[in-house]
Amino acid sequence: MVNHVQLLIDVATRATLQPLSGKLYTHFNNKIVFLIFVSLFELGSLLCGIASSSAFLIVGRVVAGLGASGIVNGAMTILAGAVPKEKSPVYTGIVLGTAQMGIVAGPLIGGALTEHAVWRWCFYMNLPIGGVAAALIAFVPIPERTTKPRVTLSLVRKIIPDLDLFGFALFVPPSVMLLLALQLGSGGKYAWSSSVVIGLFCGAATCAALFILWERRMGDQAMLPGKLLGQRIIWTSCVYASCIITCMMTASVWMPTYFQAVKGNGPTDSGVHVLPSILSQLLVVIATGAAVSRMGYYLPWALVGGIITAIGNGLVSTFTASTSASVWIGYQILLGAGRGCGMQIAIIAVQNTVSPAQYPVALASVVFFQNLSTSIAVVIANTIFAQTLRSAITRYAPMISPQAAVDAGSSASAVRALVPLGELDGVLRAYSEGLRDVFYFLVGIACLATLASLGMGWKDIRNKRSKTDMNAEMDERSETRDK
């Protein structure tokens, strides 16, 4: 089974600090807060690179996750203040498309480093890239959508009570306990019925109830304001965004497993073979942003994105060891187009629903639910794959221990070392069925995104001034001429 512990730690850490980052962008200068998060990410990458043990590496991933928690919503918050609202979709598409270039390069560079160099360079490479980005941001004027005072010690003392730090302290334990319970239960170390897993679930539920009660008491000052999240467009946007990012991140974990375990490719080749979905996603997210800015309505793109993503995941679930290159390329292109079509729509919907002062918290809420749902979905997918693989191995390759198949992971050599070459077909069929069920799960997630899209609001976001505004402007000009 694929080891997802490091991914889970990274995503879970980002999810835990995400709501607090929204409060920081609300009250403090966007540039300063953004640079602090970038610096944390750089420090975490350095710690990972020099790690001498697993515990050291985990600490580094936690620090990097804390930094990453404020980078995405910080970039979107800065962008919202830099461009007119009606032009935001096209620029949001460009930003997300640029981010996709990192996803394009990641599997290729990471695979090459894993095979031909030292894994530490997967983290060291973040240092010069992040350093250049931080230097550019430091010297570029960053406009603000709301007026914020200069950062001083007195301002920090004044704002600390508004950050809902106690709410954050209540929020961390249930998040950690939930994700830890899912990881321990799915990893086979503890049974789902064990006292450890059940205790963690009960503790998470209890702490979550306390957090909800506290947030309700805090009202508009809460880290996750209930009144804000209760708006239909906001909560449906959170659901939609969570589903789309879950489909993207989970598929990015399991697609290389198909090419390595089933097709027998190495890490570098598997990175090349996932490019069709990533490149189509990159192109479509930019094109969708331009189309929304021109047409004005974002809901049709959200609906189409959910439908195509569901179809794409369904087609990918048919992959087997004998699937031809033309088929897996075509299906990946369709899947990437669906995800690209819907990737930025929730951000556009939220930006055009809340006031500028509420936007950082609303955006942080969207990104938080994205990260939390991804953490949970990765564990669920891991469990689905392991259970299906154990069952299928018993049917198709009874001479192989189910646990040995699970422990083999996704490495092509490890999978093929399980059995003699002449008996490999049954093992590959079992792996294909495990992956099939993972993508069945993603079909359901994409269908949920399609339903959520219907509640995201039928709005024309183009800049259309009302007749009242135009009359007021004419009256003002007349008064000026009279004077």
* Interatomic CA distance for residues 413 and 156, integer angstroms: 56
Is 99 exposed, middle or buried, given 0-12, 13-18 or 19+ CB atoms closer than 10 A? middle
Residue 53 confidence class, pLDDT cut points 50, 70, 90: confident
- 253 and 272 both lie in a single domain: yes
Question: pLDDT at position 480, please?
Answer: 46
Residues 231, 190 share a domain: no
Highest mean pLDDT: which range of 10-14, 151-155, 218-222, 332-336: 332-336
Task: Mention every residue, 6+ apart, whose C-beta is less than 8 A from residue 248.
Answer: 281, 339, 343
Q: How many CB atoms lie within 10 A of CB 357?
A: 12
The reply to whether 284 and 295 lie within a common domain is yes
Q: How confident is the model at residue 397 (pLDDT cuts 50, 70, 90)?
A: confident
Q: What is the pLDDT of residue 446?
A: 96
Tokens of 57: 């590496």
**Least-confidence region, from 17-26, 33-42, 350-359:** 17-26
Is residue 474 included in any domain, yes or no? Answer: no
Q: What local confidence, expressed as pLDDT, does residue 335 receive?
A: 94
pLDDT at 469 over 50: no
Distance CA 466, CA 470 (A): 6
Same domain, 342 and 454: yes
Number of domains in the chain: 2
Is 475 contained in some domain?
A: no
Query: Is residue 483 a part of any domain in this protein?
Result: no
Tell me: do 203 and 228 sit in the same domain: no
In this structure, of 77-86, 146-155, 169-178, 452-461, the range with the lowest mean pLDDT score is 146-155
- What is the rounded CA–CA span in Å between residue 351 and residue 425? 51
Name the token pair of 438: 């993972």
Mean pLDDT to the nearest integer, 374-394: 86
What is the pTM (predicted TM-score) of this model? 0.81
Task: Assign residue 277 the CATH number of its domain.
Answer: 1.20.1250.20
Q: Which of 151, 144, 199, 166 is nearest to 19 (CA)?
A: 166
- State the chain's mean pLDDT as an integer: 82
Residues of the chain with pLDDT > 70, as a percent, come to: 87
Mean pLDDT of 339-346: 90
What pLDDT is recorded for position 116?
65
Q: Are 64 and 41 in contact (CB under 8 A)?
A: yes
pLDDT over 50 at 201, yes or no: yes
**What integer pLDDT is reported at residue 463 of this predicted model?**
65
pLDDT surpassing 60 at residue 478: no
Residue 231 structural domain? 5-164+223-461
Our separate counts of H helices and E strands in the chain read 22, 0
Contacts of 328 (CB under 8 A, 6+ apart): 273, 276, 316, 319
Distance CA 387, CA 375 (A): 19
Q: Which one, of 319, 338, 335, 336, lies nearest residue 327 by Cα?
A: 319
Q: Are residues 182 and 99 in the same domain?
A: no
List the Cα angle 425/111/344 in 5-degree steps: 100
The set of residues, in sequence order, having a beta carbon less than 8 Å from that of 176 and lying 6+ positions away, is 12, 16
Burial (CB < 10 A; 0-12, 13-18, 19+), residue 469, is: exposed
**Structure confidence by residue, pLDDT tens digits, 262-309:** 888 877 788 788 889 888 988 898 899 889 988 889 999 999 999 999
Query: Has residue 473 been placed in a domain?
Result: no
What pLDDT score was predicted for residue 153? 77
